[in-house]
Structure 1
Amino acid sequence: MQISWTTFTVPKRFPLTISRGTTSLSNNVWVQIEADGIVGWGEAAPFSIGEHQQTTAEIVAILEELAPKLANILPWERQKIEHLYREYSVISAAQAAIDLAVWDWLGKKAKLPLWQLWGLDRSCIVPTSVTIGINPPEVARERVSAWLNLTQAKFFKVKLGNPLGIEADKAMLLAIIEALPPTASLSVDANGGWSVSDAIAMCTWLSQWDIKYVEQPLARGQEADLEALKKASALPIFADESCFTSQDIPKLADKVDGINIKVMKSGGLTEAIRMIHTAKACGLQIMFGCYSDSSLSNTAAAQLSSLADYLDLDSHLNLLDDPFVGATLQDGRLIPNDLPGLGVTVG
């Protein structure tokens, strides 16, 4: 198969601030593979978790290195492709771009959307959350109104872990709760921004509200402390930055209640499927998340989303120049279409 790629820049409608900093745009990579006259599409979105960074330049460099190797492999030879990942230590975002393109190609070859190829039921898809970053309370309140006007959202995820401390977190969350419709659901995500003592205090305080779960309360590397936090918390604890692939899940199984699967962390849909089965075998709940992914990657995740308990596939809704069209919002739910493969076209 022949592989090609191009980079594209997507500015955010609302800059997103989390405990580790602020992002206002992303330089993503659109990957295409071609074989037998069929073209499959994939995407890589750079991301950063503390010292773990995957940049656009790194993604492009590894694609350049792999291109001559992939030329001798056919899209359905997925085991050979995975051997290349290991041989060349391919970073997960680059893996994701290739894997999504391969699955898109396979779906187009079969003339079926992936959700149908996998025998899934779109009616099982739950509403996706939309994200409100760390802001002063009055700005956070405005974000609620803006999201409601844009999407009629039914589920909100609030970024906490404010560097100013947990009192700032509480003030912002209270402002958001006042602005939310009474029927809206709510979760919080600290992105590893709390100490153990602050996490215990916040989980206790948050339990008076109808919070669905608390995501990544402690920093990556503090997984040993999650067990004590889980015992002290009245709210479910989900791991995000602490969980990249299926290999991480058994080590977390007695310390959390659920995991956040992102195609850029996992390396694509192939590993995401492994993570789903592993998590379910360990009795954990599942959510799907995203970074600065366009409609291409979020539509890819949506192909599997009937298997998730919670969804946070909203990044493309916050992009001003998303070049792609794919899954559509229907009553707050991101629903993949009937087109073959990923079902993504250029907008």
Structure 2
Amino acid sequence: MEIKDMSWEILEVPLKKPFKIALGTTTVYQGVLVKLCTDELCGYGEAAPSPRITGDTVGSTITALERFKGALIGKDPREIGKLMNELNHLLARNTTAKAAVDFALHDILGKTAGLPVRNLLGGERDTIETSLTVTIGSVEDSVKSAEELLNAGAKVLKVKIGLNPEEDVERIRAIRNITDAKIRVDANQGYSLKRAINVLRKIERYEIEFAEQPLPAAQVEELGVLRRSTEIPIMADEAVHTKEDVLRLVGKVDAINIKLMKSGGIYEAARMAAVAKAAGMKIMVGCMIETRLGITAGTHFALGVGVDYADLDGYWDLSRALFSGVKFENGVNILPDAPGLGVKPL
């Protein structure tokens, strides 16, 4: 078996409403669909570039894919580790382009084996709850958004904070007043150490599951200080892209957020997860704004390697669906009963 063809196309979908976090506001999703084909079948992958987090753009992703094509044509798609190592040596960073190729390779492998990708990865879990996200807005808007998500079946809310400490505390208080659901918070690097300690201590009473990346990504030592200053567990996100980053964060945080767009796909993410588990750190699988294709891949990974938490709702704000795949029911993501990723273009 060998790769005969590789193609891609740009994806662009307006969001239902602006997605506002401490790092900025997004109104349109832009990504790249990648298709790898052998003589027998094709595999699909998605790149969801984020200049503020991965440093990638749609343009840089396509440039990387053009370079990768020559290295992939004629190769055996089942040798995923070998191929991903070759791409890593060929081009540094460009993790969203690598993730798209990685997804397509895993899709082909699963289809060839007649197994879902989650089973190929170990099949450690059957289900996992995923949070749904409350973006930054007025306190009233945040409460309304939380109510809508709860009515849609959410069992876990991820509340974005990080711009206004006083309003953030009030936002959490107001949302806690309407629900007993789990609440986790994400500041997306928005606070200084002093402000983070102040806010987290004030919201401890509201039973917060964990606080994600309260400080700038480079402030690793300060994350350790913050961890010792609050009862709320601390999770790293923007500070962790590689397995080496995981090692740097041992003892500084309680948990890490592995996003396949940051790691460069499932193959590298599995290495990160192995390091984190060995170090006794909890793991969440998160996402960017992505289509169901990327979220389906993330769900396969989360269930396959057996992580602790999931934040896999990246397609919820898209104004239209581009792919079939994962479905959300009663607080969990349900994977298709199909080999490979189980996704199809609509």
Distance 2:240 2:171 in 1: 27
Q: Structure 1: how far apart are the matches of 2:122 and 2:248?
A: 30
Q: CA deviation at 1:171?
A: 2.3
Are 1:302 and 2:273 counterparts? Answer: no
Which of 49, 53, 65 is 2:52 aligned to? 49
> For 2:200, which of 200, 203, 228 is the aligned residue?
203
Where does 1:19-38 land on structure 2 (aligned, <5 Å)?
A: 19-38=22-41
1:241 aligns with 2:238: yes
Q: 1:340 — aligned with what?
A: 339
Q: 2:76 aligns with which of 60, 65, 74?
A: 74
The equivalences for 1:320-335 within 5 A come to 320-335=319-334
Match of 1:225 in 2: 222
Please report the TM-score for the alignment, with normalisation by the length of structure 1: 0.94
1:6 matched to which residue of 2?
9
SS of 2:328's partner is: strand
Q: Partner letter of residue 331 of structure 1?
A: N
User: Is it true that 1:62 corresponds to 2:64 in the alignment?
Assistant: yes
Output the CA distance in 2 between the equivalents of 1:22 and 1:140: 15
Letter in 2 for 1:33: L
**Contact 1:11/1:25 (<8 A) preserved:** yes
Please give the secondary structure, in 1, of the residue aligned with 2:235.
strand
Q: Is the 2:130–2:313 Cα contact (8 Å) retained in structure 1? A: yes
Structure 2 residue 259 is the aligned partner of structure 1 residue 262: yes
Q: Which residue of 2 aligns with 1:17?
A: 20
**RMSD (Å) for aligned C-alpha atoms:** 1.4
Residue 171 of structure 1 is matched in structure 2 by: 170
Please tell me whether the aligned partners of residues 26 and 46 of structure 1 are also in contact (alpha carbons under 8 angstroms).
no
Q: Secondary structure at the match of 1:316?
A: coil
**How far does residue 12 in structure 1 lie from its aligned partner after superposition?**
1.8
Structure 2-normalised TM-score? 0.94
| 8 Å CA contact 2:172, 2:206 repeated in 1 | no
Q: In the alignment, which residue of structure 1 is the partner of 2:154?
A: 153
CA shift for structure 1 position 304:
2.2
State how far apart, in whole Å, the 2-side matches of 1:251 and 1:222 are: 11
Aligned to 2:244, the other structure's residue is in SS state helix
Is 1:96 matched with 2:79? Answer: no
Q: Contact (CA 8 Å) 1:30, 1:41: kept in 2 or not?
A: yes
Map of 1:136 onto structure 2: 138
Q: Shift of the alpha carbon at 1:90?
A: 4.8
Question: What is the rounded CA distance, in whole Å, between the counterparts of 1:121 and 1:271 in structure 2?
Answer: 18
CA offsets per residue over residues 206-230 of structure 1, 9 Å max, x none?
Answer: 2111100000010111112111111
- The 3-state SS of whatever aligns with 1:29 is strand
Greater shift after overlay, 98-107 or 66-75? 66-75
Closer, same or farther: CA 14–147 of 1 in aligned 2, 3 Å = farther
CA displacement, residues 151-193 of structure 1 (integer Å, 9 cap, x when unaligned): 211100001101xx311211222232233x33x1100000010
In structure 2, what is the equivalent of residue 284 of structure 1?
A: 281
Which is further off, 102-111 or 326-335?
326-335
Question: What residue ranges of structure 1 are gaps of 5+ in the alignment?
Answer: none
* 1:7 aligned counterpart, secondary structure: strand
Aligned-pair CA distance for 1:80: 3.5
Give the Cα separation in 2 of the matches to 1:80 and 1:95. Answer: 10
Gaps of 5+ in 2: none
Distance in 2 (alpha carbons) for counterparts of 1:119 and 1:47? 29
Q: CA deviation at 1:89?
A: 2.1
Q: Deviations over 1:135-166 (max 9, x none)?
A: 011111121122234x211100001101xx31
**Structure 2 residue identity aligned to 1:258:** A
After superposing on structure 2, the runs of 4+ consecutive aligned residues of structure 1 that deviate more than 4 Å are: none
- The separation in 2 between residues aligned to 1:11 and 1:36, in whole angstroms, is 35
Q: 1:49–1:241: 8 Å Cα contact kept in structure 2? A: no
CA contact (8 A) 1:70 1:81 kept: no
Q: Distance in 1 between matches of 2:260 and 2:37?
A: 22
SS in 1 for 2:188: coil
Letter in 2 for 1:127: E
Alpha-carbon offset, residue 279 of structure 1: 0.5
Partner amino acid for 1:309?
Answer: D
**CA–CA distance in structure 2, aligned partners of residues 152 and 132 of structure 1:** 14
Residue 117 of structure 1: how far off its partner (Å): 2.5
Q: 1:128 touches 1:313 (CA, 8 Å); kept in 2? A: yes
How far apart are 1:336 and its partner, in Å? 1.4
The one-letter code matched in structure 2 to 1:342 is L
